[in-house]
Structure 1
Amino acid sequence: MQVFSFSLFWTIVIDIAAWTFFHLAISALCLRLPLATFQNEAFWSRIYPWEKSGALWDQLFRVKAWKGRLIDGASLFRSGYQKKTLHGTGKEDLQTFAEETERAELTHWLSILPAPLFFLWNPPMVGWLMIVYAVVFNLPFIITQRYNRGRIKKMLS
């Protein structure tokens, strides 16, 4: 339900500013979480047998063909962990990489949550478009993290 009304120009400016704020704030908050937070294999981040160690994601979405084109958000933050390539092939390196994919996945799940707030200052149709944007923008990153983590977990087992 639209509570605030602005001109088209200001609505677009507010939408862009709000998404920028939400993406950066959620990313910064998730970066502050200790890595130990991601060692418990929570239900949302666990790789399930039906995912075939990540292979399912490549079968359904051809992840290998496009994952290299995604921007690694870690490059926006000094303390971010780059996930474009492995940092090593030792067990500890692989475990850290897997945990960082959990952090990235959580970041993208949480980045979808603010979408309903856009109904406060946008007409209903635009509010729904914001929800579609949030899902369409974040889903490739979520899929890629699950794909990579599945492969890493297979290497670790």
Structure 2
Amino acid sequence: MLAIAGLYAAIWLGIHFGAGYVAHRLPAGILESLPLVSRCYGWEASGRVYERAGIRRWKDHLPEAGAFFAGGFSKRRLGGQDPAYLQRFALETTRAECSHWLTWAMALSFFAWNPWEVGVVMLIYGAIVNAPCILVQRYNRARLLRAMRALARRAHRDGASLPANAVAH
């Protein structure tokens, strides 16, 4: 039993890092074309729905591996208010969310070579491990887009110019 648990743990480790690598290599254009991970929806209320759910209490306790691969981007701390940086940060939340959806989806592969009960357990494990990370990425992206809109309004009010990519669509 312990050997099987170790095997499953190794498989999940491979799935996590494999999905992270795939997401790391995806071009921005592909990420931006995936509506599930690249859009904020009205029901999210610019991230306020997550705040009401208490996400601020636990989000900083989750692991952050954005900079694990060469050229990656850490999302642990906000590093500035430059519109281009905020746009990149928002894109990287999309990348991370995509990685977690891919990881969770890979739980379906356990049905191919295990009894269905094991597949169900793996789907539940996938949900427990990935859903909080997905929620944090959605929350952070909504906050970033809200901040970019506020910066654009302030720049417009003050007559300053912002780069064309500064305003989230």
Task: Work out the CA distance in 2 between the residues paired with 1:111 and 1:101.
Answer: 15
**Structure showing greater relative contact order (alpha-carbon pairs closer than 8 Å, 6 or more residues apart):** 1
Q: Is 1:138 matched up with 2:130?
A: yes
User: Over the residues paired in the alignment, what is the CA RMSD in angstroms?
Assistant: 1.6
User: Secondary structure, in 3 states, of the residue corresponding to 1:76?
Assistant: coil
Structure-to-structure mapping, 1:44-83, within 5 angstroms: 44-45=36-37, 46-60=39-53, 62-83=54-75
Q: Is 1:27 matched up with 2:17?
A: no
**Is the 1:11–1:121 Cα contact (8 Å) retained in structure 2?**
no
**Is the 1:35–1:100 Cα contact (8 Å) retained in structure 2?**
no
Gapped runs of 5+ residues in structure 2? 150-169
Q: Deviations over 1:39-73 (max 9, x none)?
A: 44x3202101221111111212x111111111002
Which one-letter code corresponds to 2:138 in the other structure? R
Alignment coverage as a number of residue pairs: 148
Q: Is 1:126 matched up with 2:118?
A: yes
2:100 to 108, 124, 127: 108
Give TM-score, length-normalised by structure 2.
Answer: 0.80
> How much identity, in percent, do the aligned residues show?
34
Give TM-score, length-normalised by structure 1.
Answer: 0.86
Between 115-124 and 146-155, the greater mean CA deviation after superposition: 115-124
